[in-house]
Structure 1
Amino acid sequence: MELTRAKFEHRGFSHSYLDSAPGARDRPVVMLLHGFPDTAAMWKAQIDTLHAAGYRCIAPDTLGCGESDIAPRVRDYNAIRIAGDRAALLDHLGIDKAHIIGHDWGAVVAWFFAAYHPQRSNKLLVMSVGHPTAYGRAGFKQKLLGWYTIFFQFGGLAEYLLSGEGRFSLRKVFATHPDMDEVMQRLREPGRMTAALRIYRAGLLPILIHRQPRVSAPTLAIWSDGDRFLTEEQMLESEKYLDGSWRYERLSGHHWISLLQPERVNQLILEHLS
């Protein structure tokens, strides 16, 4: 299977995406959404397995990330707008509905997609991050673990420190990422670090303040017990904001569980989608 990279225009920007079976109409569609500091390429192991099982996999680069355009304004990166980008991608491809899989900020966008575009959502699978309202209302431990989300709000200072080698460098803050050399090389390209941080700057306050819609899609939630950034509480509490079925899986490992345990994650995905 050879992945095809393509682009489409929406909101005045060029959005890049990977497609495992361009033009295929006989395969159910799975859309995979990455988080920070990743790109669509993080899903390679999942795409290989899903494509072999008969699915068409679509993995977009979030605005500002990978090969998608860098937008000039913070508000362009609002997660609800990014969920709208995902709906626009389905429109562009002539696809009515898709299964939605997301990790980290990609999970946030997946929740928003299922909430604001329920007619386009089949099943939902989220990793690490719970329903936005559950996250926003999580207790003190989650606020403590999420200290970096406040740090990222300081434009200029955050970029300077994250790009360095000190205590607040991206390499130290996200030390458990399995491919930090690639991440650092990519985010040192002009404008890319700022673009990647803008989803935090555009989306954090609305998540903390506003109650978000309930979700009706059948949902599988995966959380890893070595996650240094997210509590189990915010994932478990997500069930309160669901009208669809709920399944929860607690795995061993760190935040990037799909990269750490691809075989187990792939098994869970196939079970949930079948």
Structure 2
Amino acid sequence: MELTTAFASRRVCVNGITLNVIDEGQGEPVLLLHGFPDTHAIWRHQIPALVKAGYRVIAPDLRGCGQSDIPRSKWSYRLTNLVADVAALLDALELRQVRLVGHDWGAVISWAFVLRHPERVACYVALSVGHPTCYARAGLLQKLKGYYTLVFQLPWLPEWLLKLGNFKGLALLGGSPQEMPQWRKALSEPGRLTAGINYYRANPDLLLPVNRGDALVPVYGVWSTDDHFLVESQMTRSQRYCKRGWSYTRLDNVGHWMTVEAPEAVNALLLSYLERHVPSSTY
């Protein structure tokens, strides 16, 4: 498994920090947002396919991740700051509107961005994680699958557990031997693991079952049957909050990290959906 990617990157100042941003190709922009414990490398199979299809692909390392800056305060990782990073990134790249794709925490951020800035999103592809209201209201099984979100609220102990035995704790939690070389390399850098866990520590209110509003852009949800962290209903029930169109696909026998476990299937779904949704602005 490769530990690096050969994509062109640039440093972009946004919202008081500097992000490492992959910026490949020309054409209409597609923004890819990764989750935890990933970096932009989780998109290594999608970036070439999208570029080949004629898109400009933008894939940042989110704050605290990959080669981006690491704010030290856990409150720097509040969802409002993460959404502001995305808006500032589009401003810095002079992009009024993008096709948006998010996975895991990247999907959480993308949902929040869609709810706050619908005019900046032509369409949104949510991988694994459904509408935040549906996640919070998904019931007991989802709470059991997401037990780690409560453990992550504790100080220092989550870091110790995940690093135990050269990150064997993370290997057990993540369940993806394929991605462990990427994770171990990225999270061995001082401060990176705490930054990732701070996404959870700074946002416990996401577990509150409140109505967070409607998505006023077309949304495509993709969930995989072997996802050990998320139940299907938190994705399928998202339809009721998507007022400008909803599509859904279930990937059978695929785990949570679908972009690397089933890249050809994910690429086909992305390309088919994105080409049907033309942005309302020019670039």
Shift of 1:219: 0.9
User: How do 1:81-92 residues align onto structure 2 when only pairs under 5 Å count?
Assistant: 81-92=81-92
Partner of 1:80: 80
Against the structure 1 CA distance between its residues 188 and 53, is the aligned structure 2 distance closer, same or farther, given a 3 Å change threshold?
same
Residue type of the alignment partner of 2:120? R
Q: SS of the counterpart of 1:272?
A: helix
Residue type of the alignment partner of 1:265? V
Shift of 1:79: 2.2
Q: SS of the counterpart of 1:240?
A: helix
Q: SS of the counterpart of 2:165?
A: coil
Partner of 1:120: 120
1:3 to 2, 7, 20: 7
What TM-score comes out, normalization by structure 2 length?
Answer: 0.91
Shift of 1:206: 3.4
Is 1:238 aligned to residue 223 of structure 2? Answer: no
Q: Distance in 1 between matches of 2:168 and 2:230?
A: 19
Q: Which stretches of structure 1, 4 residues or longer, exceed 6 Å deviation after superposition?
A: none
Partner of 2:29: 29
Q: SS of the counterpart of 1:164?
A: helix
Higher RCO (Cα < 8 Å, 6 or more apart): 2
Residue type of the alignment partner of 1:170? L
Residue type of the alignment partner of 1:29? P
Q: Distance in 1 between matches of 2:269 and 2:96?
A: 24
Cα-to-partner distance string for 1:168-222 (whole Å, 9 max, x where unaligned):
8111111235221231232121111100111111123234254312101111100
Against the structure 1 CA distance between its residues 111 and 188, is the aligned structure 2 distance closer, same or farther, given a 3 Å change threshold?
same
8 Å contact from structure 2 (residues 15, 88) kept in 1: no
Is 1:208 aligned to residue 208 of structure 2? Answer: yes
Q: Distance in 1 between matches of 2:168 and 2:177?
A: 15
8 Å contact from structure 1 (residues 15, 67) kept in 2: yes
Unmatched segments (≥5 aa) in structure 2: 1-5, 276-283
Partner of 1:270: 271
Q: Distance in 1 between matches of 2:12 and 2:186?
A: 22
Is 1:155 aligned to residue 155 of structure 2? Answer: yes
Q: SS of the counterpart of 1:171?
A: helix
Partner of 1:44: 44
Q: Distance in 2 between matches of 1:17 and 1:210?
A: 33
Q: Distance in 2 between matches of 1:127 and 1:86?
A: 18
Cα-to-partner distance string for 1:18-75 (whole Å, 9 max, x where unaligned):
0003xx5xx1110000001000121121110111111000001110000111101112
8 Å contact from structure 2 (residues 187, 193) kept in 1: yes
Shift of 1:272: 0.7
Unmatched segments (≥5 aa) in structure 1: none
Against the structure 1 CA distance between its residues 268 and 31, is the aligned structure 2 distance closer, same or farther, given a 3 Å change threshold?
same
Against the structure 1 CA distance between its residues 82 and 153, is the aligned structure 2 distance closer, same or farther, given a 3 Å change threshold?
same
8 Å contact from structure 2 (residues 15, 84) kept in 1: no
Partner of 1:99: 99
> Sequence identity, in percent?
41
Partner of 2:279: none
Is 1:145 aligned to residue 149 of structure 2? Answer: no
Partner of 1:217: 217
Residue type of the alignment partner of 2:98? A
Residue type of the alignment partner of 1:12? G
Partner of 1:18: 22
What TM-score comes out, normalization by structure 1 length?
Answer: 0.94
8 Å contact from structure 2 (residues 77, 198) kept in 1: yes
Is 1:55 aligned to residue 59 of structure 2? Answer: no
Residue type of the alignment partner of 1:11? N
Partner of 1:182: 182
Q: Distance in 2 between matches of 1:8 and 1:130?
A: 29
Residue type of the alignment partner of 2:114? A
Q: Distance in 1 between matches of 2:11 and 2:210?
A: 33
